[in-house]
């Protein structure tokens, strides 16, 4: 019963947050100094043309009514039409989203693989050289502008060493034929090329994604290792750990089985948060790596003042953010018996 009520509460707060999200974007879109009517009909339109366009856009109605229409449209997946391309924003955004998701997912996986062991290592030897090292590497990850890190990464690993592919998702030679030879089931290039059996493209795609994913993964590792360390320190001070040690249990089992189970609970929230953060952090990274995701879409639209596209992209990132938070909340309940 309590669990149900918890779920109901979570769903309610999700709805309120989403509504708030739409409200904020709506307000932003209405204070925009660029007149959307002029943007459509042009500077030299007659009074009558401007008036027809106003009515067609629904701008003659009172503000609260406009808001309801805006929410109604958004709920039906209509986020407006891009001024730059004339394409519905939702179409462009759904096409771009998988690329961002792919990048953020791979980065999170890399961040967890590196961050959790590093955090555990630091927690089991507090004050040691390893501990300071993990802390410093983590703080450095917090302190680097991610776009600069991307540029330096490109310079070093692509320009100087030539170990990885350059900007874009594929080499130009593959990119030309990609859309003819691979069916975009998921929009994620690694999965689609694997499904199509084009392993040459798959390998090439890996060489392109590994650098941006690795750099974002480093940022995520910084956060995950630090939180893991603090959670693990906390658990290792508990009495059940002492009991386990006194019983003669091997240390690896004490840490990785007994303590880890309890560390997992808060760690899931942290991982979900860093995942959500990567969706955002990818905005700047994508522009550096010419990655055709949501971030590139938003920043390209920004440069030409295409507000419907910017706000539509913002709403989608915001929704992804909120949904991830909800998922972490649900997982939390699942993993932690006390929350049931």
Partner 1 sequence: MSTLTEWLRDPNPTSRRQAKLGQLWLGWLRLKRNPLAMAGLVIIGLLLVIAAFAPVLATHDPIAQNLQNRLQPPLTPGHWLGTDDFGRDIWSRIVYGSRITLYIIALVAVTAPLIGLMVGTVAGYFGGWVDAVLMRLTDIFLAFPRLILALALVAVLGPGIENAVLAIALTAWPPYARVARAETLTVRNSDYIAAVRLQGAGAGRIIWGHIVPMCLPSVIIRVTLDMAGVILIAAGLGFLGLGAQPPLSEWGLMISAGRKYLFEQWWVATMPGLAIFIVSLGFNLLGDGLRDVLDPRSAAK
Q: Where do contacts with partner 1 occur on this chain (CB under 8 A)?
A: 13, 16-17, 20-21, 23-25, 28-29, 31-33, 126, 132, 135-136, 139-140, 142-148, 151-152, 154-155, 159, 276-277, 279-281, 283-284, 287, 298-299, 302-303, 305, 307, 310-311, 313-314, 317-318, 321-322, 325
Decide whether 29 or 204 has the Cβ nearer to partner 1.
29
The least CB distance from residue 126 to partner 1, in Å, is 7
When the beta carbons of 12 and 240 are compared against partner 1, the nearer one is 12
Shortest separation between residue 286's beta carbon and partner 1, angstroms: 12
Cβ distance to partner 1 smaller for residue 80 or 318:
318
Candidates 258, 251, 270; CA nearest to 121 is 251
CA distance 266 to 109: 17
CB of 217 to partner 1, least distance (A): 18
CB of residue 152 vs partner 1: minimum separation in angstroms? 7
- Cα(18)–Cα(323) distance, integer angstroms: 10
* Minimum distance, C-beta of residue 219 to partner 1, in the bound complex (Å): 10
Q: Compute the half-sphere exposure of residue 303: CA atoms within 13 Å on the CB side of its CA.
A: 6
Q: How far is the CB of 317 from partner 1 (least distance, A)?
A: 5
Between 192 and 306, CB nearer to partner 1? 306
In the complex, minimum distance from the CB of residue 296 to partner 1, in angstroms, rounded to a whole number:
12
Report the residue number, 210 or 322, with the smaller CB distance to partner 1. 322
Rounded-to-integer distance, Cα 34 and Cα 179, Å: 37
Nearest residue (CB) to partner 1, 220 versus 325: 325
Closer CB to partner 1, 149 or 268, in the complex: 149
């Amino acid at each position: 019963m309590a669990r149900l009520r918890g779920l109901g509460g979570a769903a309610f707060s999700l709805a309120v947050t989403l509504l708030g999200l739409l409200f904020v974007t709506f307000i932003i879109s209405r204070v925009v100094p660029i007149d959307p009517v002029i943007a459509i009909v042009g500077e030299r339109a007659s009074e009558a043309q401007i008036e027809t366009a106003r009515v067609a856009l629904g701008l003659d109605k009172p503000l609260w009514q406009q808001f309801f229409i805006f929410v109604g449209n958004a709920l039906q997946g209509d986020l407006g039409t891009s001024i730059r391309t004339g394409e519905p924003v939702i179409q462009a955004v759904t096409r771009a989203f998988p690329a961002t998701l792919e990048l953020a997912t791979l980065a999170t996986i890399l961040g967890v693989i590196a961050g959790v062991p590093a955090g555990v290592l630091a927690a089991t030897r507090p004050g040691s050289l390893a501990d300071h090292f993990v802390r410093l590497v983590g703080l450095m990850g917090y302190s680097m502008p991610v776009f600069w890190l991307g540029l330096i990464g490109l310079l070093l690993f692509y320009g100087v060493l030539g170990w990885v592919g350059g900007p874009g998702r594929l080499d130009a030679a593959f990119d030309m034929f990609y859309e003819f030879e691979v069916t975009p089931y998921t929009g994620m290039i690694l999965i689609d090329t694997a499904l199509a059996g084009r392993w040459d493209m798959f390998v090439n795609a890996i060489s392109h994604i590994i650098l941006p994913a690795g750099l974002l993964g480093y940022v995520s590792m910084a956060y995950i290792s630090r939180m893991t360390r603090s959670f693990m320190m906390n658990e290792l001070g508990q009495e059940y750990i002492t009991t386990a040690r006194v019983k003669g249990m091997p240390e690896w089992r004490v840490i990785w089985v007994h303590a880890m189970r309890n560390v997992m609970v808060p760690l899931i929230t942290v991982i979900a948060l860093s995942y959500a953060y990567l969706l955002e952090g990818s905005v700047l990274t994508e522009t550096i790596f010419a990655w055709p995701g949501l971030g590139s879409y938003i920043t390209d639209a920004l440069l030409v003042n295409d507000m419907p596209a910017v706000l539509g992209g913002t709403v989608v990132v915001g929704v992804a953010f909120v949904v991830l938070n909800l998922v972490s909340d649900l997982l939390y309940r699942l993993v932690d018996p006390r929350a049931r």
